Structure 1
Amino acid sequence: MRDRINANDIANSVMMLRSAFKGTIVIVEGSTDSRLYGKFLDEENTETVIAHCRQNVYNSVKEVSKRRGDERLIGIIDSDLDHMNGIKRSPPLFQTDARDSEGMLFLSKAFDDVLFEYADKERLDDFRRRHGNPKDAIYSACYPIGILMMISSRDGLNLSFKDLVFEHFLDRRSLKCDIRRMCEHILDRSNGAWISLSKLVGLVFDEPKMDPVIVCRGHDIADVFAFALREIFGGYNARTINGYQVAGAMRIAYDREDFDKTALYATSDAWASDKDMPLWDKSGIVRS
């Protein structure tokens, strides 16, 4: 059903809402984005609309603001490949600092809070001695996947990155990614891919280095973090933890201090203030 919802449907929902609401309407991609940003929005003077995908946010904001003349709204999207491709969005569309909202959580102290809650101190200390900072290790594990996603999009490879099984290509002690095995795993799951394994591996290694913050997909980060907790340095309470639970825990731990440091907050707040539009809550109270 959600797959059939398009930008016109979202735009019509916004205009119906507008008939009874005069505040700021915030269009976001999904329900988890609504829960995350909803913690910080001006509750009385904003309403959130879920667009169900990134393209729907982009197109519905364009439709409502430019064609229907309603300027009291913003859209928030994941940056996705934009940062890697040098694309900058302009208001009323705003994008995450990292590749997506989960990646933005990982940048904050929410990561440390979740690590403190679920890691076994001795096992974590041993990992740090042998393999370094766990956050860096998680980034390194996810980085080749993000690079391959960019290559697939750029070169039309039609690769599938859904439901990856990280056990097939991550080391259970160091988290190091075996790039050849990763490429093989993704090729095996990608019907219609026309490229050879050796060629694909070469493309990943040949790609210029980029900032992992803009490369690593938040979904992969959460899954690899969960994998590391289950297999390497987690405590008893992390034996069955999964990526959805890790992402949820980081959303809960993410607070106003974290959000205030983001470019997403700074740019959207400045733009809304300039237009005298309510947007972010200024009381200092964070809703859970």
Structure 2
Amino acid sequence: MRDFLTVDRVANQIRLRRSTYTGTFLLVEGSSDKTFYQRFVDQLVCELVETSGKQRAIDILKNLEQSNFQGVLAIVDADFDRLETLLHTSHNLLCTDSHDLETILINSPAFNKVVVEFGSEEKIAQFNPEIRLVLLENGMSVGYLLWISKCKGLNLTFDGIKFSKFIDEQTLQIDELKLIQEVKNKSQAYSLRDEDLQQQLKSQKSNNYDPWQICCGHDLVEILSIGLRKVLGSNKAVDVEPNSLERSLRLAYEEIYFRQTQLYLDIRIWEINNQPFRVLRNDT
């Protein structure tokens, strides 16, 4: 009930704001999303509203739409929605091209800039596989396990798992059995059988879904962080901790990269269909 009231309260605050503000309200999930999108938004005609989560952003949007509120747009992470053919019926709800905001950053030239900045040229040259592909290949194991947990209602906990417990520092390969055991321990889900989860993981991976829809960006950054300490660089853990790397990726991400995304095109289409409301600066 409290969540509903909070959503209702935020929606009403936006309604009250409309009496003095005629621009667009852009709903985003969290603070990092707000930091990212405000670089491309014309803040004279578009106000960003941080909603503290994907579902809350969707619920606030629905609340406003029920009263035919005009000039509101929500941008959320796609997560596994495209793989589940989950259809969002609102024209005022847009999703990231890939799994989340962080995968957009990694699947751009910003990634190369950060690797060059924090990595060792010699070590990177010796690391034969393409780094981005190695991250994807191994990040899929975590992503698929998360998806299995979601689909099967296992309620496994992934926040705070220690990647160092199941990743090879030299190859950045993930030991899936150790991954399962780490997640089970973190979740206190001792009744689940390792063999069953391994089989489910193998079955899901055989479907060969698009890794950019499976992998969680935070997981890829965790793997990169470990790589930059040893096999790709010689950094102290504190200098390449995941939150710091994500900030570096956001800083390295240029407007020209954003213009090449489907999300950018979707926002422009929304602007055309919702005149006179605007979101992006005219020079982007």
TM-score (norm 2): 0.93
Task: Please show how residues 230-249 of structure 1 align to structure 2 within 5 Å.
Answer: 230-236=229-235, 240-249=239-248
Shift of 1:5: 7.6
1:228 maps to amino acid: G
8 Å Cα contact 1:230/1:239 also seen in 2: no
Question: Structure 1: which 4+ aligned runs deviate by more than 3 Å?
Answer: 2-6, 235-240
Q: Mapping of 1:145-164 within 5 angstroms?
A: 145-164=142-161
Identity level (%): 26
User: In the alignment, is residue 29 of structure 1 matched against residue 29 of structure 2?
Assistant: yes
Residue 215 of structure 1 aligns with which residue? 214
| Pairs within 5 Å for 1:38-53 | 38-53=38-53
**1:25-72 deviation digits (Å, cap 9, x = unpaired):** 10000010001010000121000110001111001111112x222120
Change (3 A) 1:36 1:12: same
Name the CA shift for 1:193/1:46 in 2 (closer, same or farther; >3 Å). farther
Q: Is the 8 A contact 1:27 1:49 kept in 2?
A: yes
Q: 1:94·1:264 contact (CA, 8 Å) conserved in 2?
A: yes
What is the distance in 2 between the residues matched to 1:194 and 1:81? 26
Equivalent-residue separation in structure 2 for 1:107 and 1:75 (angstroms): 22
The aligned runs of 1:111-150 (5 Å cut-off) are 111-128=111-128, 132-150=129-147
Match of 1:189, SS state, is helix
| Deviation per residue, 1:127-156 (Å, 9 max, x gap) | 12xxx0000011112111110111111111
- Alignment length (residue pairs): 279
More displaced stretch, 114-123 vs 263-272 = 263-272
* Structure 2 unaligned regions, length at least 5: none
Match of 1:188 among 185, 206, 220: 185
Give the counterpart letter for 2:83 in structure 1. M
Partner of 2:110: 110
Q: C-alpha separation between the residues in 1 aligned to 2:103 and 2:46?
A: 25
Which residue of structure 2 aligns with residue 267 of structure 1? 266
TM (norm. structure 1) is 0.92
- Given candidates 186, 195, 198, the residue that maps to 1:198 is 195
Contact 2:127–2:232 (CA under 8 A) maintained in structure 1: yes
Post-superposition shift, 1:117? 0.7
One-letter amino acid of the structure 2 residue matched with residue 168 of structure 1: K
The SS at the match of 1:25 is strand
CA RMSD of aligned residues (A): 1.8
- Report the alpha carbon displacement of residue 240 of structure 1 after superposing the two structures with TM: 3.3
Q: 1:159 to 1:193 in 2, by over 3 A?
A: farther
Q: CA deviation at 1:237?
A: 7.1
Letter of the structure 2 residue corresponding to residue 241 of structure 1: V
Partner residue, 2:74: 75
Q: Contact 2:28–2:57 (CA<8 Å) still a contact in 1?
A: yes
| Matched-pair contact (CA < 8 Å) for 1:10–1:56 | no
| Contact 1:83–1:214, Cα closer than 8 Å, also in 2 | yes
Q: Aligned to 1:183, what secondary structure does the other structure show? A: helix
Corresponding position of 2:97? 97
Q: 1:216-274, CA deviations, whole angstroms, 9 ceiling, x for partnerless residues?
A: 11111111111111121124577731110111100011111111111111112112122
Paired residue type of 2:62: K
2:172 is matched with which residue? Answer: 175
Q: Show CA shifts across 1:68-119 (max 9, x none).
A: 2212010010011202212243420000011111111111111011011111
Read off the aligned partner of 1:94 and give its amino acid letter. Answer: L
SS at match of 2:132: helix
- Measured in 1, the distance between the counterparts of 2:198 and 2:9 equals 42
